[in-house]
Amino acid sequence: MTAAISRKASHSMALVALFAALMAVMGLIPKIDLPLGVPITLQSLGVMLAGCLLGARRGFQSMLLFLAAVAAGLPLLSGGRGGLGVFMAPSAGYLVGYALAAGVTGALMRTLPQGTPLRTAASAFIASVLGGLVFLHAMGIAGLVLLAQMPLDKAFLADLVFVPGDLVKCALCAVVVHTVAKALPDWPFGGRER
């Protein structure tokens, strides 16, 4: 019994660390700087994948581990950024939102219908749109209002520039989930117990 629990805990910790590392690798892809101080990066795709593939708890933990490494000064954000200062920048709302959005995405993925790879992929797209786009963008807008002192209407309009690219990331997440569902039909999407 103890060996089974230990193996399950080890597996869970390995997945959390793997997805934190995946976020760091996504940070190697060059960012596109925008005048509002929030760059376009690939890392929001990592948030969506963590939620859909790991579930709410482990997805949240993986993004929290990633953010802790960033706060410790590791240059893991796109453009080689890291340290506590990034949490005072206009993009801080998005960064803080990474862990929460992965949790929301995972919780949604757990409740949405699955069964076939296509249905699972469609659920991943919906969970990614609601958690990895709508929720994450709401956190980002809040950060722009609080830290950049931007009026809410301007922050909302400024955030719209990210929506088309993030919809593409939602579709990419669905494609990855579809591939995993075909190759590993017993994968516990959204943290579901099998």
What is the pLDDT, as a whole number, of residue 38?
79
pLDDT digits (tens, 9 = 90+) for 69-84: 999 999 999 888 999 9
Average pLDDT for 87-109: 96
What is the model's pLDDT at position 92?
94
pLDDT, tens digit (0-9, with 9 covering 90-100), for 8-53: 888 899 999 999 999 999 988 888 887 776 788 899 999 999 999 9
**How far apart (Å, rounded) are the C-alpha atoms in residues 69 and 97?**
16
Which CATH number does the domain housing residue 187 bear? 1.10.1760.20
User: What was the pLDDT predicted at 116?
Assistant: 94
Q: What is the mean pLDDT of residues 101-113?
A: 97
Chain centroid to CA 127: how far? Answer: 11
Task: Quickly tell me which residue has 């929506």 as its tokens.
Answer: 163
Residue of 54, 55, 56, 89 whose CA lies nearest to 71: 89
Cβ contact 138:186 at 8 Å: no
Q: What percent of the chain has pLDDT over 90?
A: 79
Query: Which pLDDT does position 194 carry in this prediction?
Result: 54
Q: What digits encode the pLDDT tens for the residues 152-185?
A: 999 999 999 999 999 999 999 999 999 999 999 9
What mean pLDDT comes out for the span 92-109? 97
- Examine the pLDDT at 4 and tell me if it is beyond 90: no
- Which residues form the domain of 183? 2-191
Average pLDDT, the chain: 92
- How far is 160 from 154, CA to CA, in rounded Å? 10
**Residue type for position 113:** P
The average pLDDT across 101-126 equals: 96
Residue type, 5: I
Q: 165: how many CB neighbours lie within 10 A of its CB? A: 16
Across the range 90-100, mean pLDDT stands at 95
Q: Give CA 174 to chain center in angstroms.
A: 13
Alpha helix positions (H), the chain: 2-26, 43-54, 56-71, 92-111, 117-127, 136-147, 152-159, 163-183
Does the structure show a pLDDT above 60 at 131? yes
**Integer Cα distance of 32 and 41 in angstroms:** 7
Chain Cα centroid distance, residue 1: 33
What is the model's pTM?
0.92
> What is the pLDDT confidence band of residue 93, given thresholds at 50, 70 and 90?
very high
Closest by Cα among 58, 184, 190 to 123: 190
The SS3 of residue 102 is: helix
pLDDT score recorded for residue 190: 87
Domain tally for the chain?
A: 1
